Amino acid sequence: MNGLESLYQELMLDHSKNPVGFGLPEGDPAAGEGQSHQLNPVCGDEITLRLGVTDGKIDGLHWEGHGCVVSQASASMLADLVEEDAPSPDELAELIAKFREALRSRGAIPLDAEVFGDAAALSGVSKFSARVKCAMLGWVAAEDALRQATQAE
Partner 1 sequence: MHAAPLDVDRIRADFPILGESVDGRPLAYLDSAATSQRPRQVIDAELEFVTRRNAAVHRGAHTLAALATDAFEDARAIVARFVGADEEQLVWTHGATEGLNLIAHSIEDASAQGVERFRLGPGDEIVTTEAEHHANLLPWQWLARRTGATLRHLPVLDDGRLDLDAAAAIIGPRTRLLTFAHVGNVLGIVNPVAELVALAHRHDALVVLDACQSVPHLPVDFPALDVDFAVFSGHKLLGPNAVGGLYGKAELLDALPPFLLGGSMITTVTLETAEFLPAPQRFEAGTQPVSQAVGLAAAAQYLDALDMDAVFAHEAHLGARLLDGLRGLPGIRLLGDADAPRVGLAAFDVEGVHAHDVGQFLDSRGIAVRVGHHCAQPLHRRFGITSTTRASSYVYTTDAEVDRFLEAVAEVRGFFGLGGGAAA
Nearest to partner 1 of 31, 42 (CB atom):
42
Does residue 8 touch partner 1 according to CB under 8 A?
A: yes
Q: Give one DSSP letter per residue of 98-113, joined into a string.
A: HHHHHHTTTTSSPPPH
Does residue 129 touch partner 1 according to CB under 8 A?
A: no
Alpha-carbon Rg for the chain in angstroms: 14
Sequence-ordered strand ranges (E) for 4-139: 33-40, 45-54, 57-66
CA distance 5 to 55: 41
β partners of residue 36: 49
Does residue 139 touch partner 1 according to CB under 8 A?
A: no
**Which residues inside 57-86 make contact with partner 1, applying CB under 8 A?**
66-70
Nearest to partner 1 of 7, 111 (CB atom):
7
CA distance 24 to 37: 12
Amino acid in the structure at residue 40:
N
- Per CB under 8 A, the list member of 47, 58, 96, 134 interacting with partner 1 is 134
Nearest to partner 1 of 69, 115 (CB atom):
69
Nearest to partner 1 of 5, 112 (CB atom):
5
Does residue 103 touch partner 1 according to CB under 8 A?
A: no
Considering only CA atoms, which of 105, 96, 101 is closest in space to residue 137? 96
Nearest to partner 1 of 66, 104 (CB atom):
66
Least distance CB 120 / partner 1 (angstroms): 20
CA distance 135 to 131: 7
Binding site for partner 1 (CB under 8 A): 2-4, 7-8, 13, 17, 42-45, 66-70, 128, 131, 134
